[in-house]
Structures are given as C-alpha cells and as structure tokens.
C-alpha cells in the first residue's frame, strides 16, 4: 500500500500568541475556502518576522522526500521583505523545518522627504500573501496560504498600559498614540532628566546654571568641553586647592595633557618640581632661622608642560591658573616645551 504524501503547515507572525495551523494536507487536499487575516505591525527600523513551519508527516519507512515552495507577494515595497525565494525546498519524512520571512521598514519612514512631500495621504496599510505549494514532477499543488494585514505604525509605549486584549487592536493602539504624542515630550524629558544635571551631557545653555550650583565662574576663554570638565570637577578642585595635586588637576583639565601618575616627576607631561634643598648649613650657628647659602629660593617651584604642536596653549591663561591655585607666599617659573609627535 502506497501512502499519500502529506504536509502540515503552520504560518504565524512571531508576535502573535497563537498560530493558525492547518490539518495534515494530502496532495488531493483542496485548501480551505476562507482564512482570516492576521495583523502584523511594523515599526520603523525594527524587523518583524513571519514563521512558516513545514512538516512532512510521512513515516520514515516511506523514505520519500517532498518538495515544496513558498511564495510571498503583496502591495508593499519589495525591499521591505528579506526572504530567499528558491524554486523549491526539500523536506525528509517525519521532519519539521522552520522558514523565517523578515520585514523591515526604513527607520525614517515617517520623517523622510518622500513622506513629508506626499500630496496624498501616506499609505500605512498593506497586505501580504504567503502561499505554500507542494511541488511534484508534473504539477504544483497549493497546500496552504495566509494573508496578513501589514500595518506600519509609529512605536508607542502607552499600549503597554492596556490589557493585552486591547493591545492587539489597531484602533486601541492608534487611540492611545494620540495621548502619547501630546505627553511624550514631557515623559522623555523626565526619563533623561539626569543628563540635564551632568555638566558633560547638559545642554550648553544649562551650563551657567550648573556653574552657579558649585560656585564656579564661567570664563569665555575656555572651550565648552573644558568648561564642562571644570564644572563637573569643581568640588574636587576646591578640595585640593593650594596643593601640587590640585594644580596638576587644574592644568590637566585645561591642557588635556595626561596626569602620568605612574611616571617620575621629571618625565610627566605636567611636571611640578620644588627648587628647594638644604644647601650649605653653617654648623650649629643660629642666624635667625635655618640660615643657608646656595640652597635655592624657598617656596619656589617650577611648572613644566610638555605638549605637541597641535595643542596650542594660552600661556597667559595658564599663569592665571597657577596664580589661582598656588599658596599666596610661593613663587613659580613656567616652562612650556613643544615636542614633535613620533
């Protein structure tokens, strides 16, 4: 007895909780007369998938592969669909195969010039027809088909607040999107409110407000990026004010030269050295306090900056930085050297 070859077909959107599954269909099977359309929502820039599951329900002892083909058609732009429509596929007995059909709308679907310059209403609803055929040597039999309503919609988060039974309704999604468009700017601002209070990400017009929070004076000679770094680290600079570490940090934020914490002082890009040593002490004699000869200038230090030709530094501004950070009674010498890049 020769068994009749049969296929079981399942076609469903991967977003839908239930798939529409056909009965086991034989070659002589006449497809069902009516099929209900399913909705497939497409959000710009996000792929959606339709899964076609094909199962050869013949037993292995039949030892007969079946050939089938899948055709995708509709009134949508062809480049939205990503599916390799081969002449036919083969499936072994008692085997199940999944084929994914992907659809994706361009990310700027609602904002591109073609959409904005439309003289007629922008088309948002399309149809997809997916057909599965059983291929034999002398005929081609339609086994199953499914029609999808392809609905291009803007992404909406308000639908998540609806019961799931309403969330699957297009009219409900479109209705709540009206309120989302009205309130979304406020919601988005709230979601990124933290960025307004971080000097590195805050709008430029917001920087003077943040500077007043930390008692920092805006200097127009500093670039916007330098001002952002200074305002963000103002409290740290206050904490280390009057110290070598504080001066090095301040110069680092302005020059963008590395701190080189791992290098000896003479090799740093921002080197700060004190020019003070014991010199010649006159035995046990006490002439005022600690008399010295040739011991260098007390409370004096040297600032050396090693930069490259592309980094143009304002020497006058650097001197103001040093004056602002150093102890009032100390003196300094500023040396700036330019090095060629290797």
Q: Please give the backbone phi and psi of residue 321, each rounded to the nearest 5 degrees, phi first.
A: -65, -45
**Token digits of residue 165:** 């039974």
pLDDT tens track, the chain, 342 positions: 333 457 788 888 776 443 333 333 333 333 444 445 688 888 888 899 888 888 888 765 566 788 888 889 999 988 899 888 777 888 888 888 888 889 999 988 887 767 667 667 788 899 999 888 888 877 888 888 888 888 888 877 777 777 877 766 778 877 888 887 777 777 777 778 888 889 999 988 889 999 999 988 888 888 899 899 999 999 999 999 988 899 999 999 888 888 888 889 888 889 988 876 555 555 555 555 555 555 567 788 899 998 887 778 888 889 989 998 888 888 888 888 887 655
Buried b (16+ CB within 10 A) or exposed e, 301-313: bebbbbbeeeeeb
Choose among 171, 128, 149: nearest CA to 37.
Answer: 149
Q: What is the pLDDT of residue 33?
A: 40
Handedness of CA 122, 15, 31, 142 (dihedral sign): positive
Q: State the pTM of this model.
A: 0.47
Q: Could you give the residue ranges of the DSSP H alpha helices within the chain? A: 113-116, 164-167, 170-191, 193-196, 207-213, 224-232, 234-239, 244-255, 315-325
Q: What is the pLDDT of residue 283?
A: 56
Q: What is the pLDDT of residue 337?
A: 86
**Token digits of residue 339:** 């090095």
Q: What is the pLDDT of residue 8?
A: 81
Any idea of the CA torsion for 319, 325, 326, 331, to the nearest 10 degrees?
10
Q: Please give the backbone phi and psi of residue 34, each rounded to the nearest 5 degrees, phi first.
A: -125, 150
Q: What is the pLDDT of residue 36?
A: 56
Neighbours of 70 (CB within 10 A): 21
The fold adopted by the segment(s) 6-155 is Immunoglobulin-like (2.60.40)
Q: What is the pLDDT of residue 180?
A: 79
Q: What is the pLDDT of residue 196?
A: 86
Decide: helix, strand or coil at residue 63: coil
Domains of the chain by residue range: 6-155, 156-191, 262-339
Alpha carbon 308 to its chain's center: 34
Residue 125 · residue 151 · CB < 8 Å: yes
Quickly list DSSP for 88-141. Answer: -EEE-TTEEEEEEEEE---TTTTTSHHHHT-SSPPP-EEEEEEEEEEE-SS-EE
Neighbours of 174 (CB within 10 A): 15
Choose among 120, 170, 172: nearest CA to 148.
Answer: 170
Decide: helix, strand or coil at residue 56: strand
Q: Is 243 exposed, middle or buried (0-12, 13-18, 19+ CB in 10 A)?
A: middle
């Amino acid at each position: 007895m020769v068994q009749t070859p049969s296929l079981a077909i399942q076609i469903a959107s991967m977003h839908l909780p239930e798939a529409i599954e056909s009965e086991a269909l034989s070659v002589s099977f006449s497809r069902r007369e009516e099929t209900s359309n399913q909705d497939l929502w497409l959000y710009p820039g996000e792929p959606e998938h339709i899964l076609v599951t094909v199962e050869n329900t013949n037993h292995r002892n039949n030892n007969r592969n079946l050939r089938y083909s899948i055709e995708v058609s509709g009134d949508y732009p062809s480049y939205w669909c990503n599916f390799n429509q081969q002449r036919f596929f083969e499936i072994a007995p008692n085997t199940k195969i999944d084929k994914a059909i992907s659809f994706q709308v361009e990310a700027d679907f609602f904002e591109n010039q073609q959409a904005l310059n439309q003289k007629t209403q922008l088309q948002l609803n399309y149809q997809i027809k997916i057909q599965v055929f059983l291929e034999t040597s002398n005929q081609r039999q339609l086994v199953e088909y499914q029609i999808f309503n392809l609905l291009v919609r803007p992404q909406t988060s308000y639908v998540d607040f609806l019961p799931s039974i309403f969330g699957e309704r297009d009219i409900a999604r479109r209705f709540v999107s009206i309120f989302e468009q009205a309130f979304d700017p406020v919601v988005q601002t709230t979601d990124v409110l933290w960025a307004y209070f971080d000097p590195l990400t805050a709008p430029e017009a917001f920087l003077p407000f943040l500077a007043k929070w930390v008692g920092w004076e805006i200097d127009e000679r500093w670039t916007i990026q330098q001002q952002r770094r200074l305002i963000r680290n103002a409290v740290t600079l206050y904490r280390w004010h009057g110290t070598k570490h504080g001066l090095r940090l301040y110069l680092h934020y302005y020059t963008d030269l590395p701190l080189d914490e791992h290098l000896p002082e003479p090799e740093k890009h921002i080197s700060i050295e004190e020019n003070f040593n014991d010199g010649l002490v006159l035995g046990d004699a006490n002439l005022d306090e600690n008399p010295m000869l040739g011991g260098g200038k007390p409370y004096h230090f040297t600032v050396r900056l090693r930069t490259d030709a592309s980094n143009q530094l304002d020497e006058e501004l650097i001197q103001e930085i040093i004056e602002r950070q150093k102890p009032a009674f100390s003196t300094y010498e500023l040396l700036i050297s330019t090095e060629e890049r290797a």
